[in-house]
Amino acid sequence: MDDTDAGHRILPHTADVMIEAWAPTRVRCFEEAARAFIETFAEVRDVPATEPVSVGIDAASDIEMLAALLDEIIFLVDVASTIPVHLTLDESDDGGIAGVFDVAPVDALDIIGPLPKGVSHGGEFIEESGMWRCRVVAAV
């Protein structure tokens, strides 16, 4: 399997948005989910990053880590008025995820949808037949 097996999609959900992501590795699945989440509200192509922001997430389960990762994006939008335009994640020594969001100011991007308000703490994050898959609902 190679990177062409990774991807994501955005699905309508009653008054919310559902994102699904898949990839050959766990960390890449987190990255794809974060990209899908950002694509629900911002167009990030060809926007230069202005600064890096370190991120580290640890939680009891992968789905809780995914919710925390997406909550971190919401925090950056709400508090720092920035949006990740590129992200790189790795597995941390304790089984969590860590990496860097390269961010740009919100006003430098085309906002194409409502900004997210929160992430449902339901959903799934599983490995199946050599592929990692996740699904989560975000309130918009």
**Spatial contact of 106 and 84, defined as CB atoms under 8 Å apart:** no
CA angle, residues 52, 107, 102, in degrees to nearest 5: 15
Q: Whole-model pTM?
A: 0.88
Structural domain including 20 reads 3-139
117: domain CATH number? Answer: 3.55.10.10
pLDDT in tens, 6-60: 878 766 656 688 899 999 999 999 999 999 999 999 999 889 999 999 999 999 9
Q: What pLDDT, on a 0 to 100 scale, did the predictor assign at position 38? A: 96
- In the chain, how many domains are there? 1
- With bands split at pLDDT 50, 70 and 90, how would you rate the model's confidence at 1? very low
Distances (CA, A) of 114 to 51, 56, 70, 76, 111: 24, 26, 15, 15, 8
Q: Provide, rounded to the nearest whole percent, the portion of the chain with pLDDT above 90.
A: 72
